[in-house]
Amino acid sequence: MKLQWSNFSLDFSKKTHIMGILNVTPDSFSDGGIYFDKEKAVEHALRLVEDGADIIDIGGESTRPGSEPVTVEEEVRRTAPVIEAIANAVKVPISIDTYKAEVARRALDAGASMVNDISGLRFDPDMPKVVSEYKVPVIIMHIKGRPKDMQQNPVYEALIPEIMDYLRISIRLAGKFGISESMIIIDPGIGFGKTFEHNLDIIKNLHEFTLLGKPVAVGVSRKAFIGKILGDAPPSERIEGTAAAVAISILNGANIVRVHDVKETAKVAKVADAIKRGSILQ
């Protein structure tokens, strides 16, 4: 389970990798508006790396439940300058969090080296072409519906099998466009067309997704299901809950955890990795 491309290498046999979230949006559910300014965004990216981020994930459109899409031009305007500014300043891969092919292309041209597509290559028919052309890793995520309507009573007959089928189809789609099998990471999509109970079931049964033979990424950071468990705690008070969800996800098979609080999560992951493997990895 080693991912190697360009000047980067992610060895999942050695440790769980931390993906630090950098939202350059005015309306993301947890940190919307905080890093909308370019200078603040760059400063935060450098801090994430210093705190232990193995990947920086930059998004220019909120995909919180009920969110409205933004134009390609606006998403590029938000992300490309930030990517360009930090690409030469950090030694970790930069991921572009988008489902739009042109945004991905412009981000990759600016210095990004991964694509994180919440639609699993489904929303934009040109996305597989772009990923294949640039020969970069792609995170293929499961989603039911679109961000605007995904939380309006999502129903599954068989939750885990349906998500796995969706991911299998996306993996086959990637293959049709020449995306290397070794460049694919999967994500079951916590909170994307899932109820509270669905989210708990996915984390509890995360090991099922390892059967697809791909590195598994999860994004549980500060999400609503954690707030509900903690008595409707706001996002800023979900750090400990996130830490618990991260630790359990790692023990159940996660290779990448996407989080806001990198410094704290790096410590959580180090302990979870040691317990999982029965030793401290240097």
**Residues recognised as catalytic:** 223, 258
CB 32 within 8 A of CB 235: no
List all residues 6 or more positions away from 242 whose beta carbon is below 8 Å from its beta carbon. 220, 221, 222, 223, 226, 259, 260, 261, 265
CA distance linking residue 253 with residue 210, whole number of Å: 7
SS3 of 74-91: HHHHHHHHHHHHHHCCCC
What percent of the chain is helix, strand and coil (3-state, nearest 5)?
45, 15, 40
CA dihedral sign of residues 56, 48, 15, 220: negative
Angle (nearest 5°) at CA 51 between 50 and 54: 80
Burial track 140-162 (b if 16+ CB lie within 10 A, e otherwise): bbbbbebbeebbeebeeeebbee
Angle (nearest 5°) at CA 85 between 122 and 94: 40
Whole-Å CA distances, 275 to 204, 216, 279: 17, 19, 7
Using the structure block, give the residue that is written with the tokens 């992610």: 10
CA distance linking residue 17 with residue 241, whole number of Å: 19
CA distance linking residue 239 with residue 259, whole number of Å: 10
